Structure 1
Amino acid sequence: MPLNRRFRRMTRVGPVQVGTAYDNRGREKHTAACTAPRCGFSADYDSRAAAELAARTHRCPVR
């Protein structure tokens, strides 16, 4: 069953969106996810800076 997260503080860095939400244990998590077709990149991070760094350095493998 997928998680239903309520994201806040959504920002966009190129094709990657960075958002902040709480996980199922009440901890704040930051997610970076690529919105390009057929890319599939997404990752959770403990700090906002790490998520934004991943968004800035992400390169889509599908061209």
Structure 2
Amino acid sequence: MSANRSFRNVTRIGPVQVGTAYDSRGREKHTAACTAPRCGFSADYDSRAAAELAARTHRCPVR
């Protein structure tokens, strides 16, 4: 089942975008996803601070 989320409060930290959305159970989730080609990093977090920390410390393996 694919996630069809409507993100709000989207910010960009380097190549990583951080956005807030509700999951299928109605809980607020924060997602960090790298937009660099062939990187593939994305993760969901319960707090905005955790997602922003992941965005700040992310290093793409492909350069």
TM-score (norm 2): 0.98
| Structure 1 equivalent of residue 31 of structure 2 | 31
> 1:3: how far off?
1.0
Instruction: Provide the rounded CA distance (Å) in 2 between the counterparts of 1:7 and 1:40.
Output: 19
Match of residue 9 from structure 2: 9
Length, aligned pairs only:
63
Unaligned residue ranges in structure 1 (runs of 5+) = none
SS at match of 1:51: helix
1:21, 1:7 → 2: CA distance?
Answer: 5
Instruction: Give CA-to-partner distance per residue, 1:9-39, whole Å, 9 cap, x none.
Output: 0000000000000000000000000000000
Task: Report the TM-score when normalising by structure 1.
Answer: 0.98
User: 3-state SS of the aligned residue for 2:37?
Assistant: coil
